[in-house]
Amino acid sequence: MIRNIVFALILAGAVASCKNDYLDIVPDNVATIENAFANRNEAEKYLFTCYSFLPQDNDIYENPAMLGGDEMWTYWPITNLSRLPVEPQNIARGNQGKVDPKLNFWDGAVSGKPLFRGIRECNIFLDNVDKVIDLDPSMKERWISEVKFLKAYYHFYLFRMYGPIPVIDVNLPIDATTEQVRVRRQHVDSVVNYMVNLLDVAAEGLPLEIQNRASELGRITKPIALALKAKVLVTAASPLYNGDADFSALKDKQNNTLFPTTASSQKWMRAAVACQAAIEACNRANIRLYTFDNILVNVNDSIRREMSIRNSVSERWNSEIIWGGTMGGSGIQQQALPRLDAARPGNEQTYGQIAPTMKMAEIFYSDKGVPISEDVTWNFGDRYALRTATAAEKNYVQEGYTTIGLHFNREPRFYANIAFDGGLWYMQNGTWKVQAKSGQLQSRKAAFGYSITGYFPKKLANWKFVIQDGQSYSLEQYAWPVIRLADLYLLYAEALNESAGPSADAYFYINEVRKRAGLKSVEESRVFLFQ
C-alpha cells in the first residue's frame, strides 16, 4: 500500500514538473531545424544532405541499368563481393516481385535510395534557407537553384521507374489530415511540366561553369540543368510516355487517366528546342567532344582514336562531361578489368566478371559504319567461323592469333568498348594481349573472378589502372558521366528527326559523334546497306 502511494506521488510530481520551463529544452546532441540553418556552415551541411540522395550510377549494386538488363551479365551466384546479393542481376534473372521489390527507390529499400525522403529534405532546405543570417545573396540564389535541380532530378528518377508519380512540391504539415496524406499520382504530362518548370527556374540561378574546380566539381551548373531538361522532354516524347496504347487506358481510383491517349509530335518539337538550348549552353561553357591529345604518349592513329572513345567515359573530368556524378569507380574498374598482366597471374584483385553479352558484341557496326547484319561487304552468316589475324589487322587483333570472324572488320567503337579473345588492351603501362580460351590467362581460373561470356567492358576501366605485386593495384578514379555531350547530340538528332524528319541538323549532330569514332557520315555509309 505504501509503495503504491509513493509511486502515485512520484508520477504526479513528474506530470507537474513538465510545466516547468527549464525542462522545455532540446538535448545538446539533438539537431533541430533552427540549428541546421543557424549559419552558413550549418546550412551548407544541409545542402550536402540534399545531394546525398543522388543514386550512385557507377555502383553495380544500385544502378538498375548496370546489370538489370541484357547488356552485361555475370555468373551466378556472385560470392566475392562486399555486398550481396546484387539486386540488378536478381531483376535480370526474373526474380523481381511486387511484395518486396528490389531496387525500391520509392521507399528506399532493397538497395534503392529513399528518393521521396530526398525530396522532403530539399523542401525543408527551401523552406528554411532564408533563416541563414550570414549567407551572401548570390550564394543563396545558387544553393536554392541547386536544390531545385535536385528536387527535379529525384522526381525524374522516380518518373522513369514508376511513370505517373505524386508531385511533392511542398511537405505535408505534421498535423496533416488523413485525406492530405493521401497524395495521388498525377498525369505524366503534369509531372513532366512540373519538372521542366523547376529546371527552368533552377537554371537561371546556376553558374555556367565551376570556378573552384579543386573542391566543387560535381556541383550543379546551368548546362547540367538544361541538359536534364532536354532529357526529360525527350523521355516524355518517346513512345512509352506519348500515346502508348498499353498505358492509355490506365486510370487511378478516381477514374482519372494517367497517360496521354494519343501521340503528339509537338512533344518532339519541344524536346528539340530544349536540346538546342542545352547544346548552346555547353558551347558557352567550353564543353566539347573529348579527343585524346596527350602529346607525351606516342601511339598510332588507331590507338589514339580508341583512347578518344574510351576516355570520353573513364578519363577523370574530361572535356565531354556535362554532369559527372558519383566520384569513385574503383569497384566498377575491378569488376571490368581481367588479369591482364601476365607477370602477375596470382593477383586476384582484378575480377573481369562484368561481361558484355553476345548481343552487345554484335550490335556494334562494321568498319563501314552500318550494322553487320546489313553490310553488303560483311559476311554475317560466318561470323562465328574461326579466322587468323594477319599483319594488316594487328592494330585490333593479335597478329597470327585465331579467333572468330565476329572480331574482324568492326568499327573503332567495338575495339574501344569491348575486349575479346585475341584482342589488344592498351593501358598507360603497355599494350596487353587478351587471350580467353580455356586455360589461358583471361579464362576462368577459380570459382570466381572471370567473364562468363569471354568479353570484358574495356571502356569502364581507366587506362591508368596498374596491377601490382601481391594483391595490390593502383588506379585513377573518375566521376561517372551521368550526361555527356555525345548523349545530348544524339538526343537532339532524335528529337529533330522525330519532329520533322531527316534534316541537315539531325545528320550534323549524328555525324559529329561518328566522326570522333572514326566513321564516315551517315550519308556516305548508306551505300554499304542492303537495298
Distance from C-alpha of 429 to C-alpha of 462, rounded to nearest angstrom? 12
If you search the block for the grid coordinates 532546405, which residue do you land on? Answer: 125
Question: Mind listing the pLDDT tens digit for each residue in 317-364?
Answer: 999 999 998 776 678 999 999 999 999 988 989 999 999 999 999 999
pLDDT score recorded for residue 329: 67
Distance from C-alpha of 355 to C-alpha of 357, rounded to nearest angstrom? 6
Closest CA relative to residue 416, chosen from 290, 306, 291, 312: 306
Domain spans of the chain?
A: 37-55+113-284, 301-478
Residue burial 16-27, b: 16+ Cβ < 10 Å; e: rest: eeeeeeeeeeee
Q: How far, in whole angstroms, is CA 407 from its chain's centroid?
A: 28
Where residue 118 falls (left for φ over 0; alpha for ψ -120 to 50; beta otherwise) is: alpha
The beta strand positions in 206-364, using DSSP E, are 321-328, 355-356
What are 357's three cell numbers?
Answer: 553479352
- The residue ranges of the chain whose pLDDT is under 50 are 1-24, 26
H and E: helices and strands count for the chain? 19, 12
What's the sign of the alpha-carbon dihedral 146, 258, 231, 517?
positive
Distance from C-alpha of 139 to C-alpha of 307, rounded to nearest angstrom? 39
pLDDT score recorded for residue 364: 98
Question: Mind listing the pLDDT tens digit for each residue in 289-327?
Answer: 999 998 889 999 999 999 999 999 999 999 999 999 877
Question: Mind listing the pLDDT tens digit for each residue in 130-167?
Answer: 999 999 999 999 999 999 999 999 999 999 999 999 99
In the 8-state DSSP scheme, what is residue 183? P
What are 524's three cell numbers?
Answer: 556516305
If you search the block for the grid coordinates 540543368, which residue do you land on? Answer: 225
Kindly write down the DSSP assignment for every residue of 419-477, as one continuous string. E-TTBEEEETTEEEE---STTSTTS--SSSSS-SSS-EEGGGS-TT-EE-STT-EE---
pLDDT score recorded for residue 345: 86
Just give the CATH number of 37-55+113-284: 1.25.40.390
Distance from C-alpha of 397 to C-alpha of 415, rounded to nearest angstrom? 9
